[in-house]
C-alpha cells in the first residue's frame, strides 16, 4: 500500500551548542494516520515536533511538509505552514495574560472571521471535550498542571488543522482523563481525516490509538512500523524499552 506522506524528516542532524540531539534522523509521517513516537526522556522527541512545526531548523537535512522544504522557506511561508499545523505543548504554554477561554479562542480570533458567538461555541465545545468547560473565565495561573495541559490540548484542536502534534498529551493525568484524551485524539482523526503525531510514554494508550510507532534512540529512529510490527521487533533496544526493564543494552 503506497501511503501518502504528510511530513518528512530527511537525514536530520541537529545539535544544541555541543550536544548532539539528532543524528541522521529520518521519519515519514503518513497522512491520515496516528504516528506515535517513543523514546527515552531527553532523547529529542519534543525537538522532532519543533522541527515539523518549523520552530527549529536543522543543522543539515530537510524537513518537508507536503512539497515544501521548511529549511528553504521564507519567514512568511513558515508562518503560513504553521497555521495548518497545531502543536500541543508538553507544558501547555498558555499565555498567562489571558483567560483560559481566550487562550483557546486565540487562533480562531486571529485567523478566522467567525463572530464572537460562534467562536465562543467552538471554544466551549473544545473545552468540554477535555472536561474543562467550567474554566472558561479562569486565568491559567488558577489551573492545576493537568488542567493546563488539557487546556493546551483544546487550543491545539480548535482550528481543526491538517496535522496535530501532541507532546505527551496524557503524561501526569489521571486514568479517566487519559482515556478521554486518547479517545478525543482518535475521534478527531476519524472526523477530520487528519494526521497526528503523538509523543507518549503511556504504552496502553499507544497500543490503543497508534497506526504507526517510531522509536527514537541516540538521535535516530531505530524502529518504525505498525504497533504489531514494533511489538514483535527483534531489536533488543525496542524490546527492553517496551518491557520497561533495567536489564538490556540501553545504558542507564
Rule CB under 8 A: which residues touch another protein?
50, 53, 55, 79-80, 82-83, 85-87, 89, 91, 93-96, 106-107, 110-111, 155
β-pairing, 60-65 vs 68-69, is antiparallel
Please check whether residue 223 is in contact with residue 215, taking contact to mean a CB–CB distance below 8 angstroms: yes
Q: How far is the CB of 213 from ligand ATP (least distance, A)?
A: 15
**Cβ neighbours of residue 198 under 8 Å, at least 6 residues apart?**
34, 35, 36, 37, 166, 169, 185, 206, 209, 210
C-alpha cell at 120: 465562543
Taking the alpha carbons of 246, 23, 201, 152 in that order, is the dihedral positive or negative? Answer: positive
Give strand pairing partners of 7.
29, 65
Q: How far is the CB of 90 from ligand ATP (least distance, A)?
A: 6
Give the residue carrying C-alpha cell 503511556. Answer: 202
Q: How far is the CB of 21 from ligand ATP (least distance, A)?
A: 4
What is residue 166's three-state secondary structure?
Answer: strand
Which of residues 17 and 74 has its CB atom nearest to ligand ATP in the complex? Answer: 17
Q: How far is the CB of 1 from another protein (least distance, A)?
A: 32
* Region 117-156 residues binding ligand ATP, contact defined as CB under 6 A: none
Residue 170 interacts with ligand ATP (CB under 6 A)?
Answer: no
Q: Which stretch binds ligand ATP (CB under 6 A): 36-44, 62-70, 111-119, 179-187?
A: 36-44
16 touches, from another protein, ligand ATP, Mg ion, none (C-beta below 5 to 8 Å by class): ligand ATP
Residue 46 interacts with Mg ion (CB under 5 A)?
Answer: yes
Give the residue carrying C-alpha cell 484542536. Answer: 157
C-alpha cell at 249: 543494552
53 touches, from ligand ATP, another protein, Mg ion, none (C-beta below 5 to 8 Å by class): another protein
C-alpha cell at 51: 522541527
Which of residues 95 and 190 has its CB atom nearest to another protein in the complex? Answer: 95
- Report d(CA 205, CA 175) in Å as an integer: 10
β-pairing, 195-199 vs 34-39, is parallel
* Region 43-72 residues binding ligand ATP, contact defined as CB under 6 A: 43-47
Which of residues 90 and 178 has its CB atom nearest to Mg ion in the complex? Answer: 90
47 touches, from Mg ion, ligand ATP, another protein, none (C-beta below 5 to 8 Å by class): ligand ATP
Q: Which stretch binds ligand ATP (CB under 6 A): 24-32, 40-48, 220-228, 239-247?
A: 40-48
Please check whether residue 57 is in contact with residue 70, taking contact to mean a CB–CB distance below 8 angstroms: yes
| List of residues contacting Mg ion (CB under 5 A) | 46, 90
Amino acid at each position: 500500500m503506497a501511503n501518502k506522506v504528510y511530513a518528512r524528516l530527511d537525514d536530520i542532524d541537529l545539535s544544541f551548542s555541543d550536544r548532539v540531539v539528532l543524528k541522521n534522523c529520518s521519519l515519514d509521517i503518513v497522512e491520515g494516520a496516528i504516528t506515535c513516537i517513543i523514546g527515552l526522556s531527553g532523547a529529542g522527541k519534543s525537538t522532532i515536533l519543533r522541527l515539523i512545526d518549523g520552530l527549529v531548523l536543522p543543522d543539515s537535512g530537510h524537513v518537508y511538509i507536503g512539497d515544501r522544504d521548511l529549511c528553504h522557506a521564507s519567514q512568511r511561508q513558515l508562518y503560513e505552514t504553521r497555521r495548518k499545523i497545531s502543536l500541543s505543548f508538553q507544558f501547555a504554554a498558555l499565555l498567562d495574560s489571558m483567560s483560559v477561554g481566550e487562550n483557546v479562542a486565540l487562533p480562531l480570533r486571529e485567523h478566522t472571521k467567525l463572530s464572537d458567538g460562534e467562536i465562543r461555541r467552538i471554544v466551549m465545545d473544545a473545552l468540554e471535550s477535555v472536561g474543562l468547560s467550567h474554566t472558561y473565565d479562569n486565568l491559567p495561573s488558577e489551573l492545576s498542571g493537568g488542567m493546563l495541559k488539557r487546556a493546551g490540548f483544546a487550543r491545539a484542536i480548535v482550528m481543526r488543522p491538517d496535522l496535530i502534534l501532541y507532546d505527551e498529551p496524557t503524561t501526569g493525568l489521571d486514568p479517566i482523563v487519559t482515556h478521554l484524551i486518547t479517545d478525543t485524539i482518535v475521534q478527531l482523526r476519524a472526523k477530520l481525516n487528519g494526521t497526528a503525531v503523538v509523543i507518549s510514554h503511556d504504552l496502553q494508550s499507544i497500543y490503543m490509538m497508534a497506526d504507526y510507532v517510531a522509536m527514537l534512540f541516540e538521535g535516530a529512529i531505530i524502529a518504525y512500523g505498525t504497533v504489531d510490527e514494533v511489538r514483535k521487533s527483534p531489536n533488543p533496544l525496542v524490546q527492553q524499552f517496551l518491557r520497561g526493564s533495567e536489564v538490556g543494552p540501553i545504558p542507564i
